[in-house]
Amino acid sequence: MARLLGLIVLIGLVGGGVYLFMFKKADTIRTVKGYKKAETPQIAADMFKEAIKNREYEIAASYCTTSYAEQLKRGNVAGGKLATAIDNLTYQMNERKLMRDEVKIVLFGLDPFPKDFQVTVSKESGDTAEGTFVFSGPNMSGDNPNLGGWNLKGEIFNVYTRSMKFPKPGTMVAAMKKEAGEWKFDFPSDNGLQLRVAYLNEKYMNYVNPMEKVTQEVKNEPETRENATTRIKTLLEQAAKE
């Protein structure tokens, strides 16, 4: 009987250890990567901005309330790979002065959560506050973009920001609240967001592959460099059909 009791206690201790490990895993990863615990609204804003800039959506989820955080985690891999493909293609196109305004607009739209923004915290009162996001948007050069012919799927555009409140173009307002000692953004998580994340998870490689392809082509193939916009448009339209 004593031996059985000891075994039960041992199983309980091991099980509890596994639970604590899994429960603390996200916090440990966040700390190792240099992200701080959100003890103030400003820290939450700064750390969320840093995680989005680094395309680390699972870490960004640590600074959001449960429903929205679940969607960030759910699309973490797909969103990260799509965003990285956008960043790499943008860099190569800019380096070779091939980037046109219409491509900038499309790539900005494909970005799951555009990373170039400033966020200001205000209206802090007790356990609530407000964050105002101002997105930089594409830096237009004025080459008269023509978007009429880009036949793409609406489900892939700005997956994580489409459901948010924009009182004026480029400016988003989000509630913040304190939960379990940490400040978090209380972003809306509606059915539209869930459907977009589902589409992202299912189809992201259809968009990543052509962007990676053009990224290599503009470095190595003069023919693509001469027709970069047309090449991107053709491949992305094919992705939207798959």
**Structure confidence by residue, pLDDT tens digits, 186-228:** 999 999 999 999 999 999 999 999 999 999 999 988 888 889 9
pTM of the model: 0.86
Element (H, E) at 175: strand 171-179
pLDDT of residue 26: 65
- Is 213 among the domain residues? yes
Q: Is the pLDDT of residue 139 over 50?
A: yes
Tell me the pLDDT of the chain averaged across its residues.
89
Q: Residue 237 belongs to what domain range?
A: 37-241
Q: Is residue 9 situated within a structural domain?
A: no
What is the length of the chain? Answer: 242
- Give the range among 24-38, 124-138, 149-163, 203-217 with minimum mean pLDDT: 24-38
CA 66, CA 58: separation in Å to the nearest integer?
A: 12
Residue 134 lies in a domain: yes
Q: For 159-190, what is each residue's pLDDT tens digit?
A: 999 999 999 999 999 999 999 899 999 999 99
Asked whether the predicted pLDDT for residue 89 surpasses 70, the reply is: yes
| Total of domains in the chain | 1
For residue 204, give the nearest of 175, 162, 158, 239 by alpha carbon: 239
Q: Does residue 1 fall inside a structural domain? A: no
